[in-house]
Amino acid sequence: MKITPTDALLVIDVQNDFCPGGALAVTGGDEVVPIIQRIAPLFDHVILTQDWHTPSHKSFASAHPGKHPFEQIELSYGPQTLWPDHCIQGSPGAEFHPDLKLTQAELILRKGFRPEIDSYSAFFENDRSTPTGLAGYLRERGLTRIFLAGLAYDYCVGFSALDARRLGLPAAILRDACRAIDLNGSVARMESEFLAASVDIIDSVSLIRAA
C-alpha cells in the first residue's frame, strides 16, 4: 500500500494516562511510540487526537456513586463503559507521551471535552451523531484516505476507523503501531466489525517497503 499526498496519518491518543504508569494504562502502550516516529515522516499530513476530559466526566466511574471502573451503564445516548479518571484537561496524564515528537502535525483534535458524553471516535461523539469537525477538516484539505495508529486499538482507534468508513473514507490501521485493552472480548468484536466495514489491517513494515 503506497502512501499518496492526499493520505493522512491519524495518531490516536498517545497520552501518558494510556501508557504504563498512567491512570488507564494500555499494556505496552508506550511501545507504539518508536513505530509511529518511524512512519510519520512518510506522510505529508499528520493529525493527532487528544482525549481531553473535564473533571467528573460522565464516563468516569467516580461520577456514579457505587459504580466501579469497567462496569457498563446506560446513559442518554446508550451503553457506556465506566473508566478510571483519566486524561483530565491540563493534567500530566493528558499530555502526549514525552517521546512522541511529531512537530510536523498539522492538527491536534481534542475530544471527550463535553462533560455529559464520551468520545471514542475522532469523528463523532459516542452518540454517533455529534461531529468533532474532523470530517470537515479532511474534506476541506482534500485528504481522502487515513492511516491510523495509537491507543487503544479496540476502542478509540477502532471506532475512528469504522466512522471513517461510514463517511466513505478508506481507512487502514497500522496494527503494530497500536495496542489494545481487550476488555471482555473487545478485540474480537472490533475485528469482526473491521471485516464487515472493509477496514484494512496492515503493518508498518509493509508501508515502509512500499515508500
Q: Respond yes or no: is residue 156 known to be catalytic.
A: yes
Instruction: Output DSSP code: residue 16.
Output: G
Q: Respond yes or no: is residue 19 known to be catalytic.
A: no
Q: How far apart are CA 62 and CA 144, in angstroms?
A: 40
Partnered with residue 11 across adjacent β-strands are 48, 149
* Given 7, 51, 118, 156, the catalytic residue: 156
Contact yes or no for 111/119 (Cβ under 8 A): yes
* Given 13, 30, 118, 163, the catalytic residue: 13
* Given 58, 111, 163, 178, the catalytic residue: 111
Note if the bond before 94 is cis, omega within 30 degrees. no
Q: How far apart are CA 187 and CA 148, in angstroms?
A: 16
Contact yes or no for 46/11 (Cβ under 8 A): yes
Q: How far apart are CA 97 and CA 135, in angstroms?
A: 26
Q: How far apart are CA 115 and CA 111, in angstroms?
A: 11
Q: How far apart are CA 77 and CA 55, in angstroms?
A: 20
State the catalytic residues: 13, 111, 156
